[in-house]
Structure 1
Amino acid sequence: MKRLNLLTTPTLLLLGLAAAQSASPLKLELALNLVKTVTENGKAVEKFTPATTSLPGDVLSQILTVTNTSKAAVRNAVVSLPVPRNTEYLAPEKGMATARTLYSIDGGKTYAPAPLFRKVTVTENGKTVTREVEVKPNEYQAVRWIIPEVNPGSSLKVGYRIRVK
């Protein structure tokens, strides 16, 4: 099986995040962890370890910590994170901050709340018909959060899980 080197993915994402936040009072920190389910005392428990490499099928957790470094509250903060290449979106990470979450299927050009729909043209009984079909979450290419308020000096976390293709 081919290993995917994940050191370059977070580095590139962090460079993009750094450029995007240069004039912002928000500091963004990305953590990418490998999620493994193990049995402890007869119960399934998830263990997280920093991801440097992964194999197809591995589940990863991408957590973005958003910190307000200013002395004033930041309202309606918009934070976006692309779904890395060679991975597929699975679900939002549990226990994260309350924020309005939007998804993109066009590389981050447009965003909308789930479920997303796309128009497809099919031929039925010899006629061309346009239908609207629901987009599966594994087709999401980026996630955006609109955070109502980040108080001065406080932090919150948003994130999601992905699977390596």
Structure 2
Amino acid sequence: MKPINMISLGTIALISSISFSAVMPSLASLQNSDPAIAQTAKQEAPVQLKLAAERQSIVAVASGRVDWKPLPDNASLRPGETIRYVVTASNISDRQIKKLVVNQPIPQGSVYVLGSATLPKVEGAKLDYSIDGGKTYSEKPTIRVKLENGEIVTRPAPDSMYTNVRWRFGDNFSAKTVAYATYQVRIR
């Protein structure tokens, strides 16, 4: 397989939606270098979001130690490589943000690494996933499978079906707070 250019892979990965309770949602484009400001139409609750991509680097095979190196914008990715995305959310206002939600699509040409998403260290934070392009979310997505005998059973969704990771930052995202969340993908 030929290498994937980071620009094409990142196009989808660098879009995130933010929603606030009782206000119109805003759309922010996240960039590796410059943070984007997302805020309500009334500019009442600014949130600064940043997305950074890092390439996995196994330092010592015997020890199993893994380092993460920043991924340059023009990087070529090879099948099997693991990329970690770090989402940084900053409430730069003097007020709490109610029900902040950040939705991050899994980039095309990659597969979500099951169990790799981390929760931000924010009280009440929750994590869920979509397997239908962001229409519905579940903490543990499942699919219905028809067995050879005709019986239909529910099974965990395979990693290849995950399309979005969503973080809910609790009921109140405190003023002047910075929170980090991560997830990993494997290049197909």
| TM-score relative to the length of structure 2 | 0.74
Mapped pair 1:141 → 2:163: yes
Shift, 1:129, TM fit:
3.4
Q: Residues 97, 10 of structure 1: CA spacing in aligned structure 2 closer, same or farther, 3 A cutoff?
A: farther
Higher strand share: 1
**Structure 1: unaligned runs, 5 residues or longer:** none
**Residue 20 of structure 1 is aligned with which of 17, 27, 30?**
27
Q: Quick one: which amino acid aligns to residue 176 of structure 2?
A: G
1:43 partner letter: S
| RMSD, aligned α-carbons | 2.5
1:123, CA displacement in angstroms?
A: 4.6
Partners of 2:119 and 2:167 in 1: how far apart? 15
Identical columns (%): 24
The CA distance in 2 between the partners of 1:34 and 1:161, in whole Å, is: 10
Is the 2:9–2:109 contact (alpha carbons within 8 Å) kept by the matching residues of 1? Answer: no
Change (3 A) 1:153 1:118: same
The CA deviation at 1:139 is 2.3
Q: Deviations over 1:26-84 (max 9, x none)?
A: 111101110111129x6332222222221000011011100112210113211110111
Cα distance, 1:54–1:36 mapped onto 2, change above 3 Å: same
Match of 1:84 among 87, 107, 117: 107
Specify which structure has the bigger relative contact order, considering alpha-carbon pairs within 8 angstroms and separated by 6 or more residues: 1
Match of 1:111? 137
Q: Distance in 1 between matches of 2:121 and 2:105?
A: 18
Match of 2:121 among 97, 115, 119: 97
Equivalent residue letter for 1:143: V
> 1:68 aligns to what?
91
Gaps of 5+ in 2: 19-25, 29-37, 41-45
TM-score normalised by length of structure 1: 0.83
- Counterpart in the other structure of 1:49: 69
| Selected match of 1:155 from 162, 165, 178 | 178
**Aligned residue for 2:22?**
none
